[in-house]
Amino acid sequence: MSAGAAVLIALLQSNVPAFGSHYAGKQFFDARQSEIAPSATAHCEGDERVSGQRAAAGPLRVVPFSPQEAKPYDFPHDVFHVLLSRNGRAHKVADVEASYGTCDVYAVDLDGDQEPEVVVESGLGRGTSAYVRMLEIFKRRPQGYERVFYALLSGYVPVNDGDPDAWERSYSFKKADGPASVVLHLRLGPRSSVWADADALDALHFPVREYCWRTTPGAYRLCHFEYTTVEK
C-alpha cells in the first residue's frame, strides 16, 4: 500500500459534520510543516478568535468596508480590504468577502526578494455543510497586486445518508532553489461517497499536490503530486 493510500484510509475514519461558524474558525495553514514562516499576520476583525483583542497596528492589516461600501452586500460585516504598508504608505492588496467575518492573512516572502507576497485564507457559505475555505496568494506588480495562486482548501462529498462529508487540505511552504513552492496536503476525507464533483475528486485522488513558481506565465503551476485511487 502506498503512503498516500495509507493516509487517505486514516482520514476516511475521522470525518465529522461541518457546522457553519464553528467550521469557519478552523485554521488550514500548517505552521509546523512549513519551511517558511510569515513575517506578519492579520485577521478579519469579525473573527471571534481575535474580537476584543484588536491587534497593534502593523504592516499587514485587514480593514472592514465602510458602511457605504458595504451597502450592496447581504452580510456587510463580511467584507474587508487587505492592506500592506510599504515605506510608511498603505497599499491595497485585495478586497475579501469572508463569511462569518473570518479570515487569516499572512505576509510571506516566498521568492527572497525582500518584497513579501500576501497569502489570504478565507471562506464563503453559511449553514451546515455549506462553508468552503479557499487559499489565494497575491504578488506585487508595477501596477499593483495580482493574484498568482488560487486553490480550494475544503468542500463536501455526498454520502449514502445524512449530511455530506467534508474534505480538507492544509497548506505549507517549501524552500526551493528559486521561489518557495506551495504544498497542499489532504488532511480529512469522506468515509464513503456516492459521487463527487471535480474539486472533491481532485483533492481525494491527489492527497499531496505541490505548486512551483513559473516565471512564464508568472504564476504557480503544479510540479509534483502523489496519486491514489478512490473507492466508491
Distance of CA 3 to the CA centre of its chain: 24
* Residue 77 DSSP code: G
* Residue 57 DSSP code: P
- The torsion angles phi and psi of 163, rounded to 5 degrees, stand at -70, 155
95 lies in some domain? yes
pLDDT at residue number 190: 77
* CB-CB neighbours of 156 under 10 Å: 23
Give me the DSSP letters along 145-213: EEEEEEEE-EEEE--SSSSPEEEEEEEEEE--SSSPEEEEEEEE--S--S---HHHHHHHH-SEEEEEE
> pLDDT digits over 124-167, tens only?
998 878 899 999 999 999 999 999 999 999 998 877 667 788 89
232 lies in some domain? no
pLDDT at residue number 43: 93
Query: Over 80: is that where the pLDDT of 230 sits?
Result: no
pLDDT at residue number 54: 47
> pLDDT digits over 89-113, tens only?
999 999 999 999 999 999 999 999 9
**pLDDT category of residue 7 using cuts at 50, 70 and 90:** very low
Number of domains in the chain: 1
pTM comes to 0.86
Average pLDDT, the chain: 85
Query: Over 70: is that where the pLDDT of 193 sits?
Result: no
211 lies in some domain? yes
18 lies in some domain? yes
- Which residue's entry shows cell 492527497? 207
Can you give the residue range of the structural domain that contains 157?
3-226
Query: Over 50: is that where the pLDDT of 87 sits?
Result: yes
**pLDDT category of residue 25 using cuts at 50, 70 and 90:** confident
Of 203 and 50, more confident: 203
CA separation for the pair 172, 38 (Å, rounded): 11
153 lies in some domain? yes
Q: Where are the beta strands (DSSP E) in 6-131?
A: 40-43, 60-64, 79-86, 89-97, 103-108, 117-124
CA separation for the pair 93, 71 (Å, rounded): 21
110 lies in some domain? yes
Mean pLDDT of 212-223: 93
180 lies in some domain? yes
CA separation for the pair 191, 165 (Å, rounded): 7
231 lies in some domain? no
User: Could you tell me whether strands 89-97 and 79-86 are parallel, antiparallel, or unpaired per DSSP bridges?
Assistant: antiparallel
**pLDDT category of residue 232 using cuts at 50, 70 and 90:** low
